[in-house]
Structure 1
Amino acid sequence: MTFQTSARSAANDLSDSRWLQLVARGGYAVSGVLHMIIGWVAVRIAIPGSSSSGTSADQSGALAEIKETAWGPAFLWFAVVALVALVVWQITEAIVGGSPRGDDSTKQKAARAKAAAKAVVYLVLAGLAFGVVTGESSGGGGEKVTRWLMSSGLGKVAVAAAGLAIVVVGGYHVYKGVTKKFREDLAGGPGGQLGRGVDVTGVAGYVAKGVALVVVGGLFVVGAVQADPEKASGLDVALKSLADLPYGKVLLVLVGVGFVAYGVYSFARSRYARM
């Protein structure tokens, strides 16, 4: 038995672990809570006279707001554990590539690459949650990296390339929402009114998140061209920039509501995700 075969066999066994799947599903629920808070903050920013309480409209801001609640620390520790479990599960999927396990077709290779990318995203989120709950969060870390990259011509190209990649991901989110392709992530699902509710929140959520990601990526490109790291600062800056556009506050409210919808969909995904 080769090392590759052994690794796939071990990953396959771990991926099928009911305990790992159960805890990993909690990671989707955590993501849902964060998206709902981000959406609510975005709506508060858009409504005149409403205070956003200085909260950043991104994952770090949502985690910080959770920490201030009575149940915040306990939830954040749960978030760390659940997200790490989701990272482990995504890594196993990156190794075995979904069903049929071990298939080396182009489709399965793409599925493995997608799982690996998701593992990185959830690992970063787990790190943010750990930093907030332990009081060791290094706010502005991403901006520092962007500033460092923009200090050289090659770095600016890298930032612009990252921006274009984010735009592509955002566009795919919109496509996934409009075509209801997100249904492929679910193993069955509820029927009747509840099933229609999952569809509605999935469509609204993916489209809204896609729009936000397109804006984030666009600002990265603009920031690279103008050598302005302030513009390439992530989701918070992107959402707040929408408010400065014509009818931007209306668009920001719609995006905020969409983020809340994505959060609701994430709860359904935690229950019905294909694992």
Structure 2
Amino acid sequence: MGDAAGAAKQAADKGKDAARTIEGSSAYQWLVKVGLVFYGIVHLLVAVTAVRMALGLRGSDEEASNTGALRSLAETPLGAGLLWVVAAGFFALVVWQAVTALIGFHEFDGFKRVRKRLSAALRTVLYGYLGVAAARIASGPDVEDGEDAQESLSQGLLGLPFGQVLVGIVGLAVLGYAIAQVSKAFRTSFHDELDTTLTGAKLRLTQAGFVGKGIAIGIVGALFLWAALDADAQKAGGLDKALQQALQQPLGMWLLLALALGIGAYGIYCFFWARHPKHA
């Protein structure tokens, strides 16, 4: 038993040493910056599409989502080549957050450190999804878009025993994430991910970004809960459907424009983040 524990500790120490070696690579640090810049661009493209949606100018093939933004990049003159760079940047973010989940936030103790490392682990999944999506779009026509993926997830879960409960759990998890984003805005805990402190206009812009993004994600969570209550997968959806729902509310155009500004502000925050990413 003692030998097994010692071997596990030795393996963990080797993993931490490897993580520190990776973080010392200038190429890796450059790719992290590239990934964060493109993450910001993705949010800005979503914001632009949302504005066009609010004003009734959106084309039928435009989708206000991360995958929709990646398709917009594919239509630029650099096309597939640019998307391969984007994919490489997102995969660098996967490594960055995986390293952070392993050895990061050592300045905190107890549950706070565990919570922040778990958040970093969850971000590896998000960035991995975006990296795979960018690579797939760069390789050719995309098989399934973001909105279809949400419906497919709901449909698959609803087909399982206690499916409605499972879809409801997904909805609650998404809502929890949304609340965490808004909470970050008011507690300014996003500074834990930066190697600097934002002040003045940069701080206010960042706070607006986290609130706007949090509200939009919260609507996505609400859609999953709606799908769970009615056992109807078609009522679930991603960011594009959430923004469409916002548009259908009283003063919907103004609500959607406010959300678009918030998502755009988050995109600009990503540029600040790219200049000052905190490494473990």
How high is the TM-score relative to the length of structure 1? 0.91
1:72 deviates by: 2.9
Amino acid at match of 2:54: A
Matches of 1:212 and 1:142 in 2, distance apart?
A: 15
1:90 maps to 97
1:199-219 deviation digits (Å, cap 9, x = unpaired): 122011100000001110011
Any conservation in 2 of the 1:189–1:272 contact (CA below 8 Å)?
A: no
The counterpart of 1:62, out of the listed 69, 76, 86, is 69
Residue 239 of structure 2 corresponds to residue 235 of structure 1? yes
Identical positions, percent: 31
Any conservation in 1 of the 2:150–2:236 contact (CA below 8 Å)?
A: no
Unpaired runs of at least 5, structure 2: 1-8
1:73 maps to 80
**CA 1:175–1:107 in structure 2 vs 1: closer, same or farther (change >3 Å)?**
closer
SS of aligned partner of 1:2: helix
Matches of 1:35 and 1:223 in 2, distance apart?
A: 26
1:39 maps to 47
Give 4+ residue runs of structure 1 displaced > 6 Å after superposition. none
**CA 1:269–1:17 in structure 2 vs 1: closer, same or farther (change >3 Å)?**
same
The alignment's C-alpha RMSD in Å is 1.8
Query: What pairs up with 1:234-253 in 2 under 5 angstroms?
Result: 234-253=238-257
How high is the TM-score relative to the length of structure 2? 0.89
**CA 1:16–1:154 in structure 2 vs 1: closer, same or farther (change >3 Å)?**
farther
1:134 deviates by: 0.7
Amino acid at match of 2:259: V
SS of aligned partner of 2:126: helix
Matches of 2:277 and 2:10 in 1, distance apart?
A: 32
The counterpart of 1:134, out of the listed 139, 145, 161, is 139
1:136 deviates by: 4.8
Query: What pairs up with 1:145-224 in 2 under 5 angstroms?
Result: 145-188=153-196, 195-224=199-228
1:220 deviates by: 0.3
1:197 deviates by: 3.0
**CA 1:81–1:2 in structure 2 vs 1: closer, same or farther (change >3 Å)?**
same
Matches of 1:205 and 1:250 in 2, distance apart?
A: 17
Amino acid at match of 2:77: A
